[in-house]
Chains A and B, each alone.
Chain A
Amino acid sequence: MAHDETQATNPDHAHPHPTWATYKWVALWLTLITVGEVWAYYIPAFVASKAFVPILVTMSAVKFAIVVMFYMHLKYDHKLFRALFTGPLLVAMATLVALLFLFAKLGASV
């Protein structure tokens, strides 16, 4: 089957969606990052270090972004969809961070 780029004429898609060739690499990267996260969890010296939480959160954010960009096609779809997702996501993240400051979860280390 020609699993070529599809829906080029669909107005919902600003650019054609990726193919199996891209999806398999996305899956591989997601798996590798997850393995890296779990591996890091089992290194006590690293868990005790100050770098552990920022690195783990960054790895998680990268996985989040990869799924959203490639599997949810936000990289390829119309910019209005991007705005509909990133707007509330930023509000949600700002609320989360504000609550953590408010309840002194971040205040001591920042």
Chain B
Amino acid sequence: MTTHAEAAHGHHYTTTGLDHRKIAIWAFIGSECMLFASLISTYLVYKGRSLVGPLPHTAGTNAAGQPTVPILDIPVTSASTFVLLMSSLAMVLALAAVQNKDKPVPADAGAWTKALASSKLWLWMTCILGATFLGFQAYEFTSFVHEGLTIKTNLFGSTFFTLTGFHGAHVTAGVIWLGTLLAIDYKRGLGPKDAINVDIAALYWHFVDVIWIAIFTLIYLIPD
């Protein structure tokens, strides 16, 4: 339904008075909650039921009877968690910069004030931090395979790679999405009229962050 507001500002408001794109992203995020809950549930149900190693928190023996060490690397994952949390900070600053684009920066403003006004800077930061998180995940997956843990090794491998792999795929999609926003920013500049598009991407990005918050605690920090 076309409203006054849509005609005047190019927004797409529904009969609720709310932008339908924002309603859609929240509904999508709600459905994603259920997807990740099913993956986390599966991990927790099968937790501690692997017959052979490598195991997440304890030593064990592999199918060939050789000893295996606890496989999760908490310091590395803590660092990647910190990186993802900081990417969420960069994302809210990118959104704020876009929303405030039409407000002029005083000529005598300090470097930090100018930095806060740069949507390109914060979008780049978010992309780089997201890519860094993916780099940590690639390192983790590679080291696990070298230790003899694959998706087929045991129940832990199957549920762990499925859960974290799905999350990594979501982060990858988020980085690509942010990359497209960055390209638009370089091509024609993002302004307050684009804030809703950046807001939707930001909501998706923060959702990926909150899912990792749950995964980090339930999978990495709580032992069998």
Contacts and interface: CB of A to CB of B under 8 A. Distances in A.
A60 B213 contact: yes
Interface stretch (B40-48, B145-153, B154-162): B40-48
A89 B207 CA distance: 12
Q: How large is the interface on B (under 10, 10 to 19, 20 to 34, 35 or more residues)?
A: 35 or more
Interface of A: 1-4, 6-7, 11-12, 17, 19-20, 23-24, 26-27, 30-31, 34, 37-38, 40-41, 47, 52-53, 56-57, 59-60, 63-64, 67-68, 71-72, 78, 80-81, 84-85, 87-89, 91-93, 95-96, 99-100, 103, 105
Contacts of B1: none
Interface string B16-39: 111100110011011101101110
B38 A71 contact: no
A96 B27 contact: no
B31 A88 contact: yes
Contacts of A52: 222
A105 B217 CA distance: 17
Interface string B132-173: 000000000000000000000000000000000000000000
B131 to A, nearest CB: 20
Q: Interface majority SS on B: helix, strand, loop or mixed?
A: helix
B64 interface: no
Interface of B: 5, 13, 16-19, 22-23, 26-27, 29-31, 33-34, 36-38, 40-41, 44-45, 47, 74, 78, 81-82, 85-86, 88-89, 91-93, 96, 99-100, 103-106, 109, 113-114, 116-117, 195-196, 202-203, 206-207, 209-210, 213-214, 216-218, 221-223
Given A12-B18, A71-B91, A27 B37 contact: no
Nearest to B203: A72
Contacts of B223: 47
Given A67-B206, A80-B23, A1 B41 contact: no
Contacts of B100: 1-4, 6
B26 A84 contact: yes
A28 B202 CA distance: 19
B53 to A, nearest CB: 20
Given A27-B89, A85-B30, A41 B74 contact: yes
Contacts of A2: 100, 103
Contacts of B216: 34, 37, 60
Contacts of A57: 217-218, 222
B149 to A, nearest CB: 20
B91 A1 contact: no
Given A11-B13, A30-B85, A68-B210, A88 B44 contact: no
Nearest to B35: A92
A59 B81 CA distance: 14
Contacts of B17: 11
